[in-house]
Structure formats: C-alpha cells, structure tokens
C-alpha cells in the first residue's frame, strides 16, 4: 500500500487490520451458516419438486384422457370462465439477514371445494379428476415457488459473502500485514540510524571534551613551569 511510513499511519493500519480480522471471522461464520441453511432448503426444495412433478404428471394424464374424449370446443367452453379464485398473500422471513418470501392464499368463494366451472353433462370424469388434483396441488405449487425463490436469494447472498471473505482473506488482510511489516522495518531502520548518529555525536562531543581538558592541562603545566 502506498502510505507514508509514520507511527500514526502504523497505528491506523493496525486498527484497520484488527477490524478486518474481526470482520473476516464474522463473515466466515455467516458464510458457514448460510451454506447450512442453503443446503437444507435445497434438499427440501428437491424433495418438494419431485412430489409436485409426480402429481403434475397424473394431472396431465387425466387432462390428456379428457382431451381425447371431449372435443376441443367443449373443453374450451368448460374451462373458459373459472369459478374459483384465490387471493395470494406474501409475507417475509429473515434468514441470516436475507428476507425470503413465504406465500399463502385464501379462496374467494365461500366454499373452497366449489371449483368446477362447468356442468357435468358434457364433460368426463377424467376432467373432474384433473381439476380436483390440480386444486389439491395448488398449495404445494405455491410452497415450491417460495422454496425456489428462497434458494435463489440464499445462493446470491452466499456468493456475495464468499467473495467478501476471499477479498479479506487473500487481498486486504495480506496487504495490511505486508504494509505494517514494511512500516515497522522502516521505523526500526530510522531508529537505528538515529541511534547511530547520536552515538557519533556523543563520541565527537566526548573527543572535544577530552581535547579541551588536555589543552587546559598543558596550559596549566606551562604556566607552572614559567613561574618556577
């Protein structure tokens, strides 16, 4: 890092390193917990998807049989105007700071079983079975949609957290550590240089003091010899 090697900068970088280290630990814990929740949701989503696909296969089979028995015009007329409606409600749940959706619904008609928008004279039992099975499957379809979105949101947050952990672990923290070592070595070098200069100055002052003392002693000896 391009910084001035001063003690103030060294103190600031040490604080940043401590903060980055704490943040790295917290983000690693968050990443691990997100991974745990993600795997649990992914397994649950896979199980639910398998169930829904199996039941949808039965629904499509009944519709295919009904379409083979009933004419296209009669089928379109029977299903043209739905009799039952639903009101979708969306709530939120927080998983490791990620708001994930949860879906619920209620039927508009008073009787939830009132789902047939046609009379039974011109339709087949297979169509009735398909409508009933699809109505029973609707709550699972909503649950599957919620699980799919939850898995997507957790996967995005997990990837974002993983990138932050890697940035701290492999970029920011090593750069701070290298810079701190550089500044510490530079300050130590400057301190050794200052000590060397002080020692030289001390030696020079000591030499001057000795020379002055010798000069005074010689002057005193000459004066004493002259008086004698």
Q: What percentage of the chain reaches a pLDDT higher than 90?
A: 38
100 is a domain residue:
yes
The reply to whether 39 falls in a domain is: yes
pLDDT over threshold 80, residue 112: no
Instruction: Determine the Cα–Cα distance for residues 54 and 62; give it in Å rounded to an integer.
Output: 13
Q: How many domains does the structure of the chain reveal?
A: 1
| Predicted confidence (pLDDT) at residue 14 exceeds the cutoff of 80 | yes
Residue 126 within any structural domain of the chain:
yes
Query: Measured between alpha carbons, how far is 88 from 141 in angstroms, rounded to an integer?
Result: 12
Domain that holds residue 130: 29-155
Q: Is 130 part of any domain? A: yes
Q: Is residue 83 part of a domain?
A: yes
Q: How far apart are CA 24 and CA 18, in angstroms?
A: 10
- The pLDDT, as a whole number, for residue 105 is 82
Q: What pLDDT is recorded for position 21?
A: 95
Quick check: is 105 in a domain? Answer: yes
- Model confidence pLDDT, tens digit, residues 37-90: 999 999 999 999 999 999 999 888 888 888 888 878 877 777 777 777 788 888
Please, are residues 159 and 167 in contact by the beta-carbon 8 Å criterion? Answer: no
pLDDT digits (tens, 9 = 90+) for 172-218: 999 999 999 999 998 888 888 777 888 888 878 888 888 788 877 77
The answer to whether 149 touches 98, Cβ cutoff 8 Å, is no
Give the pLDDT of residue 180: 93
Mean pLDDT for the chain overall:
85
CB atoms within 10 A of CB 161: 20
Q: Which CATH number does the domain housing residue 70 bear?
A: 1.10.287.3240
pLDDT of 113? 65
Distance CA 5, CA 62 (A): 79
How many Cβ atoms sit within 10 Å of the Cβ of residue 34? 22
H helices of the chain, where? 7-69, 72-78, 125-167, 173-227
Residue 6 falls inside a structural domain: no
41, part of any domain: yes
Phi, psi of 215 (to 5 degrees): -65, -40
At 1 the three-state DSSP class reads coil
């Amino acid at each position: 890092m391009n910084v001035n090697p001063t003690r103030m900068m060294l103190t600031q970088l040490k604080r940043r390193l401590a903060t980055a280290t704490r943040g790295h630990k917290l983000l690693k814990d968050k990443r691990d917990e997100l991974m745990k929740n993600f795997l649990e949701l992914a397994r649950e989503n896979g199980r639910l998807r398998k169930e829904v696909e199996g039941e949808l296969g039965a629904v499509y089979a009944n519709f295919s049989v009904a379409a083979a028995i009933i004419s296209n015009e009669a089928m379109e007329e029977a299903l043209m105007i739905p009799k039952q409606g639903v009101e979708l409600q969306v709530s939120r749940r927080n998983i490791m700071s990620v708001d994930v959706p949860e879906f619920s619904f209620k039927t508009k008609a008073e009787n939830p079983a009132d789902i047939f928008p046609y009379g039974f004279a011109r339709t087949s039992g297979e169509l009735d079975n398909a409508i009933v099975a699809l109505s029973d499957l609707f709550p699972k379809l909503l649950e599957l949609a919620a699980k799919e979105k939850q898995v997507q949101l957790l996967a995005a947050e997990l990837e974002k957290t993983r990138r932050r952990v890697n940035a701290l672990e492999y970029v920011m923290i090593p750069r701070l550590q290298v810079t701190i070592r550089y500044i510490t070595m530079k300050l130590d070098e400057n301190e050794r240089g200052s000590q060397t200069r002080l020692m030289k100055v001390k030696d020079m002052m000591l030499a001057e003091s000795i020379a002055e003392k010798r000069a005074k002693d010689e002057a005193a000896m000459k004066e004493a010899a002259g008086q004698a």
